[in-house]
Chains A and B, each alone.
Chain A
Amino acid sequence: MNSPVPAPTPSAALPALPAWFTSRQQAAWSRYLAIPTPKRGDEMWRFSNIKQLDFTGFSRSTGVPAVKEDGATSLSPHEKTGILPVIPDRQDACLPLDLIARSSGLEDTAAKLIFINETLVHSQSSLPAGVLCLSLAEALVSHSALVETHFMKQEPRLGSAKFAALHEASVVNGVFVHVPDDVEVAHPIEIHHWLAGSNTLIFPHTLVVTGRHAKVRVVEMFRSADDLQPGLAIAFNDLAAGPGSKLDYVAIQAFNELSRVIQINETAAARDATTTGFVLNTGAAWARNESLSRLEGPGARSDMLSVSIAAHAQEYDQRTFQHHVSPGAFSDLLYKNLLYDFAGTIFSGLISVDEGAHHTDAYQTCRNLLMSDTCEANSMPGLEINADQVKCSHGSTSSQISEEEIFYLRARGIDSAAARQLIARGFSIEVLARLGDEPLESLVIGFMDEKFASIAKASN
């Protein structure tokens, strides 16, 4: 047994959280208790493995050993979060330094933040004047009104209302990004989340707000400190794109294969705003993604993208909602799943065009490439149209690699395993190309290749 880690005590130095936030947390907790746990037969959980929702045994992280980057230990509250550090024991003393060192990503970033569980352990930035990029814990105190305006505004409607309530009741930290009118952030803001310890539960929250004609791209990477300890993340990303702005969000989920994750994305696009959301799933035993895009003004555009590589007995359960509230908006969803071994994926997508949302263009495509005879892909595309002069399409396909294609590659000397990997990688590239950013594509491909290598290793 590990020695018990002292829990972080609320420090006297910790500024009080705003009243609106604490009362929302209390209300959310009541809501969490009131909403029944999803059960087999619920439409929103069709095909889902409900057993994964038993979170018994997981508990909140108790902080991380505080070691500054120069290696010195510190016992003062963290300068930004105010969270009191835990006295490092010998075993864990090097963990933060190790994880900071492992937090490699893009070469050019406007800001880089590293969290271990819910503690911000590293932060650097070179942002244009006026741009806010800080921990949520800090923003709740320093920019309370601004956070309140945008924090968890939309109704979760894709099945995880209970877990969204748990998240809201429990969230202590995350990232708040605010880009004021007419400011463009040239390089991405990069956020690393490390899940550390055994049976640790975290509630990462990322709130990104862009003003009129602002531009920003946020890239988040979710990983486990090691491969042997299960963890649970109930993550929320909240994106509010102001008029004419451009907001891109990329999430790379590469937790270890013992962990579970619920990730809820809510995007609101105002008039002429362009939003892109991309999710890569390579990790976790089970991941549930709920992604909702709300087109709130004419000319708004939402691109919803995902690549999932499910192997072994992994399960990815994705639910999407393209909500056209305003006339004259555009949404385009492309999800691609690669399935190996006994893996399973679920895609359930709905395009909903409200009454009066005329001249809507909405598209939805889900493609599954089945790499084994024992995997299972379920797709449930859907449309609800209550307006006129609407262009909508949805389609879902599942296929296997054609024997002729494999023969062609092998006839060039490429062995069967390498040929299948080339084809699988190629299958996903179409989605990545939509990001239109080569360094970012390379970063994502790096995570994909790591997964392909682990699949190849397991099959040898």
Chain B
Amino acid sequence: MSLHIHDLRATLEDGTEILKGVTLDIPKGEVHAIMGPNGSGKSTLSKVIAGHEGYLVTGGSVTLDGQDIFSMSIDERSRAGIFLAFQYPSEVPGVSNANFIRAALQARLPQGEELDAVAYYHRLYAKMDLLEIDRKFTARSVNEGFSGGEKKRNEVLQLMMLEPLYGILDETDSGLDIDALKIVAKGVNAMRAPHRGFLLITHYQRLLDYIKPDYVHVMAEGRIVRSGGPELAHELEKDGYEFLKDLAPA
């Protein structure tokens, strides 16, 4: 049981190839981190898995526990168990956070079944407390006027509420101070479980001090160029991405 990415190729609408054959297997229970310089295709990988329509898949496959996700719409993928924590979450004016998360949960229920509101708020408040989010947050419009840290905490709150099978975190650490980073990591660590896999996309090793990955991969120019254990992150932190120069792709 895994999120399996095989020889994935994707282009922008103008035909520019961004992913040039990515292969990666994320079994349940494991946390994988992808690191790499800007423009290496890390964020694109996450968006293609989530179903962003700005990219065209030109080859390869992604399967969720054996199920082809490219036959599913964006929202079907989410309901099937994929969660993308956005690097730049959208603002949704006039839609309160509480109603937004509720709508997402409601979408997972069979037609005609109503979410139990009391149980919902009980659970929501418990997760908010863990992420040190003020109660007033529920009435605020989704991400509108949020600080960078608040937006990222909101992403992790949604992750905790939706309980996906696979969580993909796209640069969740960017723009966070150390305290906010610790809180976000606390939320993600609370969600680590034998029945859940994670893919962390990050530019910096710092996040991995708080969310310990099982494996670290390096992405460059649309491919995974190195894979290793957690020690690889420290090596990259020390030596940077200089070594990539020696891996001149064909």
Contacts and interface: CB of A to CB of B under 8 A. Distances in A.
A binds B: yes
B130 interface: no
Given A422-B100, A426-B141, A411 B92 contact: no
Contacts of A403: 53-54
B94 A428 contact: yes
Contacts of A411: 50-51, 74-75, 77-78, 84, 86
A3 interface: no
Interface string B88-114: 011111110001110110011000000
B234 interface: no
A414 B104 contact: yes
Interface string A422-460: 110111111000000000000000000000000000000
A410 B73 contact: yes
Contacts of A412: 75, 78, 100-101, 103-104, 107, 158, 162
A425 B96 CA distance: 11
B18 to A, nearest CB: 17
Contact of B75 (A405, A415, A429): A415
A418 B103 contact: yes
Contacts of A427: 93-94
Contacts of B90: 402, 404-405, 407-409
A416 interface: yes
A1 to B, nearest CB: 43
B192 interface: no
B79 A413 contact: yes
Name the prevailing secondary structure of the B interface residues.
mixed
B128 to A, nearest CB: 17
A322 B143 CA distance: 34
A363 to B, nearest CB: 19
Interface string B150-162: 0000000010001
A414 B103 contact: yes
B78 to A, nearest CB: 4
B89 to A, nearest CB: 6
A354 B94 CA distance: 36
A452 to B, nearest CB: 13
B92 A422 contact: yes
A429 B94 contact: yes
A308 to B, nearest CB: 16
Interface string B5-32: 0000000000000000000000000000
B158 A407 contact: no
A11 B95 CA distance: 55
A403 B74 CA distance: 12
A425 B108 CA distance: 21
Contacts of B99: 422
Contacts of B195: none
Nearest to B90: A408
Contacts of B123: none
Contact of A430 (B74, B84, B94): B94
Interface in A374-428: 402-405, 407-416, 418-419, 422-423, 425-428
B140 to A, nearest CB: 12
A205 to B, nearest CB: 34
A426 B92 contact: yes
A428 B73 CA distance: 28
B175 to A, nearest CB: 17
Given A403-B53, A410-B73, A410-B75, A415 B107 contact: yes
B6 to A, nearest CB: 22
A413 B95 contact: no
B212 interface: no
A416 B94 contact: no
Nearest to B79: A413
Interface string A9-27: 0000000000000000000
Contacts of B135: none
A413 B92 contact: no
Q: Which of A404, A410, A425 has the most CB of B within 10 A?
A: A410
Contacts of A416: 73, 75
A416 B53 CA distance: 13
Nearest to B164: A413
B206 interface: no
With a 10 A CB-CB cut-off, give which of A408, A418, A419 has the most chain B CB atoms.
Answer: A408
B74 A426 contact: no
Contacts of A402: 90
Interface string B129-150: 0000000000001000000000
A277 B118 CA distance: 36
Given A408-B89, A410-B74, A426 B94 contact: yes
A419 B73 CA distance: 14
B52 interface: yes
B46 to A, nearest CB: 10
Max chain B C-beta neighbours (<10 A), residue from A402, A404, A407, A415: A407
25 contacts: A403-B54, A404-B90, A405-B90, A407-B53, A408-B86, A408-B90, A409-B90, A410-B73, A410-B74, A410-B75, A411-B51, A411-B77, A411-B78, A411-B84, A412-B104, A413-B104, A413-B108, A414-B75, A416-B75, A425-B94, A425-B95, A426-B94, A426-B141, A429-B93, A429-B95
Interface of A: 402-405, 407-416, 418-419, 422-423, 425-430
Given A402-B90, A410-B51, A429-B93, 5 more contacts: A405-B92, A407-B50, A411-B78, A413-B104, A428-B94
